[in-house]
Structure formats: C-alpha cells, structure tokens
Structure 1
Amino acid sequence: MKKTIKEVIVVEGRDDISAVKAAVDAEIIQTNGFAIRKKGNIEKLRVAYENKGIIVLTDPDFVGEELRKYISKFFPNVKQAYISRKEGSKDGDVGVENANPEAIIKALENAKCEVVQNTEAIFTMDILMEHNLSGSLESKDLREKLGTELRIGYSNTKQMLSKLNRYGITMEQFLTAIGKIEKAKN
C-alpha cells in the first residue's frame, strides 16, 4: 500500500503527476513550467501551503531550479525534494517523469514529508450533490465559483472532492463559501 503524504506536491508537468502518483498517494499541483506566474496559480499554492504545506519536486535541470527559486520567493519554508539527474534520466531526457517510484519516495523522505494515516474524508459525493456541485445543470459553474472563493481553482467533481479533503478545507470554510455564492446569486 502506498504511503499517503500530508503535504501537496508541486511538479512541473502532467507526466510528473503520473510518476508521483505511482509512488505515493498525495495531492499534486502542476505548474506547467513558468505558467505558475499566471494570475491565480500562486494563490492555489498559497492555499495548499497554508493548509497542508507544499513540497517542490521539479526536474533536475535549469528550468526546475528556476521554478524552485521562484516558488521559494513566495513560500520561504517550502520543503524541497530532489531527484538526481541520473535518477531522472531516460533516453537523453531528464525529468521527474523518468524517475522510478523508489527514487521519488526517497526524495520525499529526504524532504521530511509527513506521512499520514488514511483518515475518513470530511467531504463526500453526497455533500457535493446536496449543494448542487455535482449532478445539476449549474454544477460546473458552482464548482468554478467555489474554487475561486476557496482559492483552490476550478475542478471537475472528482478533483473538487479530492481538493476539499486534501487541502484541509474545513466544513465551516466550505459552508461559508457556499453561503457567499448563494448570496451573490440573489
């Protein structure tokens, strides 16, 4: 059984997400390289940083190092996980996506990640449906507004459920955000 990591892991690309998910159970934010500089992306990281903490796991190359520096400017106590160039190399390509699960686990352990026991989720699909975040014509719009209000970004239903539980969003924060959205409609 894979270890569940408390912190949110920050990676560069989609293939990096697959590699990390093969190694551990964790919430992952993809920067899309320097697209992290776009408005709102740092706010998503801020929510994760404040609620759970973040671990940066970028490629062992120049761009990866520049991204680490950029993120560290905003979050000085961010944890840093490193894979070596050798661990991340495959057919001339260097990146987290090439690392095996053992190398990723070792990098996260060296970053002093916090392993947590799987706890029962606060948020369920029933709660999302009860608040029309799933299964109604307005669900997509409501999830977008909720993501904006909670500063966790837009998500499909499955991703929203995961973010709510993994980012440490409380039921009080959730209900307050839903209340603001409802009030704005009227």
Structure 2
Amino acid sequence: MIKEVLIVEGKMDVVAIGKAVEADCIITEGFNLKPRTLKNIEEAAKRRGIIILTDPDSAGERIRKFLAKRFPTAKHAFVPREEATAAGDIGIEQASPESIRRALETVRTLGWASSERFTSKDLIQNGLSGGANASARRAHLGARLGLGFANAKTFLLRLNHYGVTREEFEQALTEMEMEEEDGR
C-alpha cells in the first residue's frame, strides 16, 4: 500500500492504478476541480501526503501546475507519453501496470528554490534542445529521470526544481546514448 494518496484525473485512471499498486486515489475530474475535491486533496496532503499523477498531455500538465502551486509539498510521478498512449488516446488509464509502478518508483518533489544546476547550454550540448531529435531525446531522458515529457523550457525547469543531480543526469545520458548506439 502506498502511503500517499494519488491525485488522478478520472475513474479509469483509478482502475489502471489498481492493476499496478494498492493505493488510495482522489479524482480531479479533469480541470473541473470542485471545492469539495480541493478540500479532500488538502486533507490528504496534511494527513498522508499526495502524489500528483496526471495524464502526460497538455491538460494534465495544466492540472499538475495548478495543484503544485496550491500544494507545494506534493510529490510528482510521471508516466512517459509513449507508455500512456493507446488507440490515439493519451492518459494514465492507457498505461501498463509496469509503467505506473516505474513512475511511482521515481517520484520527485518539486523544490521552489531553483538550484540553477543546469542551463540551456546543457540541453543544447546534449542534443536535448535545438536539434532535429531533441524532443525524442528529452522524452527518453525524462522517462529515465522520472521527469516526464516536456518542451525544452519546462524540461530545464524540472531538472533544476525536482532535485536531479548532475551525476543522475550524466548517468541517464550515458545509458540513453548506449541504448541509441545498440539500436543502430
């Protein structure tokens, strides 16, 4: 049983999570966050802590940002977009139990004080920004680091605010590049 309460968007997300782990969930019903739902999330955050696990799409990201501002101690889990897509639909309900478990194993806590450990130069030098394959590389690295898919600006923000160390970054890059070489 996961100690924290998972915050998800819909009923089918709860079904998918139930196939992966034993956890209590609160459903946001998309961005339709009713006062009662926010009160329930607030109580869960105080008593047990919360993990935000929204869909890896733009709507899920808007919900995540809103909740992260309102609940700054929340933890964040990300299922990679490619692991949460089926039949043209993107969402946690599309993710396999293994993908959900991996996301929950790499939970991150947002720190509002930026470490400025990483700069846009790091992204450019490592093919994560400005190149033809940059988006795919960010998605792959984001999955390895538990940061999810993001554009370059958001990816840099997550690197600096979610406690990623230089060592973690370098190791994930090395592993990713070894996989890319093996795939050629």
**What TM-score bracket applies, with the shorter chain setting the length?**
0.5 to 0.7
**Corresponding residue of 2:162:** none
**Corresponding residue of 2:65:** 69
Larger CA Rg, structure 1 vs 2: 1
SS of 1:29's equivalent?
Answer: strand
After superposition, the C-alpha distances for 1:102-158 in whole angstroms (9 at most, x for unaligned) are 100000110069xxxxxxxxxxxxxxxxxxxxxxxxxxxxxxxxxxxxxxxxxxxxx
> Which structure would you say has the larger RCO, counting Cα contacts within 8 Å and 6 or more residues apart?
1
**Corresponding residue of 1:22:** 19
* Pairing of 1:28-177 with structure 2 (within 5 A): 28-36=25-33, 38-111=34-107
Distance in 1 separating the partners of 2:77 and 2:108: 9
Distance in 1 separating the partners of 2:65 and 2:94: 22
- Sequence identity of aligned pairs in percent? 44
* Corresponding pairs, count: 109
Distance in 2 separating the partners of 1:69 and 1:90: 25
Distance in 1 separating the partners of 2:105 and 2:46: 21
After superposition, the C-alpha distances for 1:70-127 in whole angstroms (9 at most, x for unaligned) are 11111111100001110001011111001000100000110069xxxxxxxxxxxxxx
**Corresponding residue of 2:129:** none
Distance in 1 separating the partners of 2:83 and 2:67: 23
Distance in 2 separating the partners of 1:13 and 1:60: 13
Cα deviation for residue 42 of structure 1 reads 1.0
Distance in 2 separating the partners of 1:7 and 1:68: 16
Q: Which runs of 5+ in 2 are unaligned?
A: 110-184
SS of 2:83's equivalent?
Answer: coil
SS of 2:7's equivalent?
Answer: strand
Cα deviation for residue 52 of structure 1 reads 0.3
TM superposition outliers: structure 1 runs of 4+ over 4 Å: none
